[in-house]
Structure 1
Amino acid sequence: MKTNPILYIVILLFNYNLAQAQQDANKVESTPLTFARQDVIHSKILNEDRTINIFLPESFHETSIHHTYPVLLLLEDEFFLMVSGVIKHLSSVERMPETIVVSLVDGPKVPKLYTNGSDFWPKDWKQLPFGGNTDPFTTHLNQELFPYLKNKFRANDFKIVMGLSGTSIYALHAFAKEPGLFDAHIAIASGDILGMGYSEGESLVDVIIKDFENNQKKIGWLYVTSADSDGNGNSPMIKENLEELERRLSPYRSDDFYFISKIFPDEGHYDVALPALEEALGLIFPKVKWFAKYAEIIEESGNAMKNIDNYFQKLSMEYGFEILPKAERWNSGNSLSRIGPSLLREGKTIEAIEVIERWVEYRPKSTLALSELSKAYESNNEFTKAISALARAGEIPSERSMEESDSYQARINQLKKKMAEKGN
């Protein structure tokens, strides 16, 4: 039987189109999510390129220049994702300030320590087989990395250092030998390091205590821990070192110096990183201070915005950097974006305007803030200001639809009509 070539081509095209349609139906659109960046900066001091991973607060690009951020310097890049996630969550629920996380992909330079008979490391190691002069690295931090973060990302002078296991050596070294370099020191899986020292027979615990005994006052926060799987089984000396630091350092606890030195229960060597980090951040930023209840603050006698400012000014004085009220917060009443409209509904128009104006000051690109400010001005018969706020909202670049743009103009026209009726 002779095949019709035209029919054959039609069948081929039909099958091709059917297969193509099935492929299109199975296609899934995929968009990469970027939560961090990686920068490479050349260090003239170290004569090498240094790679750093940087996590910025989620609101960094929306907030005003008034907002500056503490820095958590993570010495162990392996934990960058975990640390950034914890910081993001705790700061979003106002349990700590929004913070820049910087991890050193190339790691820190650590001092060469004597093991002092550590039962965690090989018995024939009189000294660790790595480490050396840390002065150039410390100078690099002071003169290159920290200024870079300040100039480019509005980092402030409040700094936390965090190391785990081997990298905790530099965190403890900074506490012992570089006062003022960091405000808070977190050393996790580090109980073995406490027993080591710069000279044979003298431990880091001895060095730390000697400073206090010689009235070299230290302020800030120190958090040191190891998992019980290390300190109770594999290396009894780890538990002994942590207990010794706790015992000898306890007399020096004060309103200016807080510390924890402990065995962490029910955890493994690196497993402990997550719960220990949460506990360390709770030591530095206690919930009782940081979880501001805005509704209760504004109910105190006096002006609402002034009461909020007073609360955060007191916190700022304690921590040494400017801490600002939360402008916006997801699904919570503890923010200016919720308090302002709430005051307006209660008929406290002047106080509402003050709060919403501050919201706009902190989030100048927020169309929602400007829209709420327009409503507040309108309630106070300040129509010119209400129109101006809406006009500013309409000028902010966005992916708004034509209907939304028309809505802005319609509201402006209504305000102009209302202003004319009232003779303003």
Structure 2
Amino acid sequence: MQKSAKMLFLLITLSISNICVAQTETNVLSIGKSDLFHSSILDEDRIINIYLPEDYKLNDTTAYPVIYVLDGGIDEDFMHIAGIVRFDTQPWIARFPRSIVVGIGGNVRRRDFTFAVSNTDFIEKEGFRKSSFPQYGGSEKYIRFLEKELQPYIEKNYSRCKTKTLIGESLAGLLNTEILLKRPELFTHYIIISPSLWWGEQSLLKNAEQLLNTNLRQKVRVYIGVPNKDEDKKMFAENEMLYQILSKNRNIHASFDYMPDELHSTVIHQAVYNAFKKLYPKPASSK
């Protein structure tokens, strides 16, 4: 009996050990990679989060479209937008070609996404404290960072496809709109979600038509997504006005998407999903 008891104890011990080993053995779950990128223009390091298509290979010669996410930190919009892209590009869905997603992390949003203004009295009129914008007006430098540093880096290391999409919501939507109006050649598709067009007393909106007539020379596709208008009637009116201006331009294919079931804080996920359906033609093989 004593020998049997020892044997039973040994078997139980081995079983528990095996369970413990099984519980601690894990595989790393990865949806992308992060590059540490130093910007000489911004004089800062940035984390660039990158989602690559499932069949992407080192030194791949395929020219993948690239989707740039302004609020692209891991704790911001990168993860769920990469997830939507992965879903939409599965072969049984094939909403658009497999694409690379580039998320820009480490932004100081109120500094990087706003253009310079002569005074900031309007900030309090919009319900904010001036002290909540200790830094602002850095968008010109940020746009140069996108053009001169980030885009060349991505094209050199990952893709040379001419199809480039920019996604931005709120203040990032303001920057998105500024790039569309002032430097439209930088991207082919613009997904603008609930943009903060109030900045600078609506000066960007007021000059939108003139800026487009001066700067836009190629075809672009633009999606504007807005949440429930009762949350912010002024913002809704500004967004609707922007759409009306864009839709008059022959070089712009514009879509306006009103989502009454969404708020400013929840709209981006549904908006991006809708935008991909509206702006991207299906690959020829899936038609």
State whether TM-score is above 0.5.
yes
SS where residue 270 of structure 1 aligns?
A: coil
| Residues 215 and 181 of structure 1: CA distance in aligned 2, closer, same or farther (over 3 Å) | closer
Alignment gaps of 5+ in structure 1: 1-6, 295-424
Match of 1:273 in 2: 268
**Offset from partner CA, 1:210-243 (integer Å, 9 cap, x none):** 2245585453022222210xx213x210121122
After TM superposition, give the deviation of residue 66 of structure 1 in Å: 3.5
**Offset from partner CA, 1:314-357 (integer Å, 9 cap, x none):** xxxxxxxxxxxxxxxxxxxxxxxxxxxxxxxxxxxxxxxxxxxx
Match of 2:204 in 1: 204
Residue 243 in structure 1 maps to residue 240 in structure 2: yes
Residue 60 in structure 1 maps to residue 65 in structure 2: no
Residue 292 in structure 1 maps to residue 280 in structure 2: no
| Residues 215 and 232 of structure 1: CA distance in aligned 2, closer, same or farther (over 3 Å) | same
Match of 2:85 in 1: 87
Match for residue 34 of structure 2 among 15, 29, 38: 38
Match for residue 66 of structure 2 among 65, 68, 71: 71
After TM superposition, give the deviation of residue 37 of structure 1 in Å: 0.5
Match for residue 145 of structure 2 among 125, 131, 140: 140
Amino acid at match of 1:142: E
Query: 1:220 touches 1:258 (CA, 8 Å); kept in 2?
Result: yes
Structure number with bigger Rg: 1
How large is the Cα RMSD of the aligned pairs?
3.1
Query: 1:55 touches 1:100 (CA, 8 Å); kept in 2?
Result: yes
Query: How many pairs align?
Result: 275
| Residues 212 and 179 of structure 1: CA distance in aligned 2, closer, same or farther (over 3 Å) | closer
Q: Percent identity?
A: 23
| Residues 68 and 170 of structure 1: CA distance in aligned 2, closer, same or farther (over 3 Å) | same
Match of 1:24 in 2: 18
Amino acid at match of 2:53: P
Match of 2:194 in 1: 189
Deviates more, 1:74-83 or 1:205-214: 205-214
Match of 1:15 in 2: 9
Residues of 2 paired with 1:291 and 1:270: CA distance? 36
After TM superposition, give the deviation of residue 58 of structure 1 in Å: 0.7
Residues of 1 paired with 2:204 and 2:165: CA distance? 20
Match of 1:51 in 2: 47
Query: 2:94 touches 2:286 (CA, 8 Å); kept in 1?
Result: no
Residues of 1 paired with 2:160 and 2:262: CA distance? 34
| Residues 154 and 79 of structure 1: CA distance in aligned 2, closer, same or farther (over 3 Å) | same
Match of 1:111 in 2: 114
Query: 2:184 touches 2:216 (CA, 8 Å); kept in 1?
Result: no
**Offset from partner CA, 1:116-156 (integer Å, 9 cap, x none):** 85899425559955422333322222222222212221342
Query: 2:192 touches 2:225 (CA, 8 Å); kept in 1?
Result: yes
Residues of 2 paired with 1:33 and 1:214: CA distance? 47
Query: 2:66 touches 2:159 (CA, 8 Å); kept in 1?
Result: no
SS where residue 195 of structure 1 aligns?
A: coil
| Residues 248 and 136 of structure 1: CA distance in aligned 2, closer, same or farther (over 3 Å) | closer
Match of 1:161 in 2: 166
Query: 2:226 touches 2:257 (CA, 8 Å); kept in 1?
Result: yes
Residues of 1 paired with 2:284 and 2:123: CA distance? 42
Alignment gaps of 5+ in structure 2: none
After TM superposition, give the deviation of residue 45 of structure 1 in Å: 2.5
Query: 1:95 touches 1:291 (CA, 8 Å); kept in 2?
Result: no
TM-score in terms of structure 1 length: 0.57
After TM superposition, give the deviation of residue 38 of structure 1 in Å: 0.7
Residues of 1 paired with 2:6 and 2:125: CA distance? 71
| Residues 119 and 257 of structure 1: CA distance in aligned 2, closer, same or farther (over 3 Å) | farther
Residues of 2 paired with 1:9 and 1:88: CA distance? 58
After TM superposition, give the deviation of residue 183 of structure 1 in Å: 1.4
| Residues 36 and 69 of structure 1: CA distance in aligned 2, closer, same or farther (over 3 Å) | same
Amino acid at match of 2:238: N
Residues of 2 paired with 1:278 and 1:184: CA distance? 14
TM-score in terms of structure 2 length: 0.82
Query: 2:164 touches 2:188 (CA, 8 Å); kept in 1?
Result: yes
Residues of 2 paired with 1:278 and 1:53: CA distance? 20
Residues of 2 paired with 1:226 and 1:82: CA distance? 19
SS where residue 69 of structure 1 aligns?
A: coil
| Residues 196 and 45 of structure 1: CA distance in aligned 2, closer, same or farther (over 3 Å) | closer
Residues of 1 paired with 2:161 and 2:42: CA distance? 24
Amino acid at match of 1:284: L
| Residues 133 and 105 of structure 1: CA distance in aligned 2, closer, same or farther (over 3 Å) | closer
Residues of 1 paired with 2:99 and 2:147: CA distance? 19
Amino acid at match of 2:192: A
